[in-house]
């Protein structure tokens, strides 16, 4: 055996020695810390983008609701005007005379009830009329 042979490394062992590295824990720890920092930074940026998108969405919704509110207020105003027009006594009187053929009542056609006339007692006396059946009630003047 030659003295050089003991120091010589076989080619298979050379390949194994070339690819085998000791892991450096400090380098791995610093890389993990850097990845963690980058991950937190990306999460913060994505959170800010999501908040901005939500803000834009809400802004569009608010604008749409303002337009809807304006339309509803205009519709409400028109309906109030229409209601006032429909409740107008002159319109009702015109419809009664024109479409239904009604005329103002004559003086002998109007009778005032005593309980609603000023100075009346407002009390109605209820009595059972003898000729009526038992359950019917006859209103007689006070």
91 to 76, 83, 84: CA distances (angstroms): 21, 12, 10
Residue 18 located in a structural domain: no
Sign of CA dihedral 62, 67, 73, 79: negative
pLDDT at res. 25: 84
Exposed, middle or buried: residue 32 (CB in 10 Å: 0-12, 13-18, 19+)? exposed
What is the total count of domains within the chain? 2
Residues 97 and 141 in one domain: no
The predicted model scores a pTM of: 0.46
Residues 82 and 140 in one domain: no
Residues 37 and 100 in one domain: yes
pLDDT tens per residue across all 142 residues of the chain: 444 555 666 666 666 656 656 678 888 899 999 999 999 999 999 999 999 999 999 999 999 999 999 999 999 999 999 999 999 999 999 889 999 999 888 888 887 776 665 665 555 554 545 555 444 444 544 4
pLDDT at res. 85: 92
pLDDT at res. 130: 53
Residues 59 and 125 in one domain: no
pLDDT at res. 108: 83
> What residue numbers bound the domain in which 139 lies?
111-142
Give the contacts of 124 (CB within 8 A, at least 6 positions apart): 115, 139, 142
pLDDT at res. 136: 45
Alpha helices in the chain (DSSP H): 11-19, 25-87, 89-98
pLDDT at res. 142: 46
Residues 127 and 57 in one domain: no
- Using CA atoms, how far apart are residues 72 and 6, in angstroms rounded to an integer? 99
């Amino acid at each position: 055996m030659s003295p050089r042979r003991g120091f010589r490394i076989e080619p298979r062992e050379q390949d194994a020695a070339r690819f085998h590295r000791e892991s450096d824990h400090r380098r791995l720890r610093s890389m993990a810390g850097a990845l963690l920092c980058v991950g937190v930074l990306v999460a913060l940026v994505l959170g800010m983008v999501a908040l901005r998108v939500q803000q834009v969405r809400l802004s569009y919704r608010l604008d749409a609701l303002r337009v809807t509110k304006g339309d509803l207020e205009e519709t409400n105003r028109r309906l109030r005007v229409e209601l006032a027009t429909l409740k107008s006594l002159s319109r009702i009187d015109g419809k009664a005379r024109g479409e239904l053929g009604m005329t103002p009542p004559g003086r002998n056609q109007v009778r005032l009830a005593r309980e609603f006339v000023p100075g009346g007692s407002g009390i109605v006396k209820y009595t059972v009329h003898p000729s009526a059946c038992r359950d019917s009630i006859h209103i007689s003047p006070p």
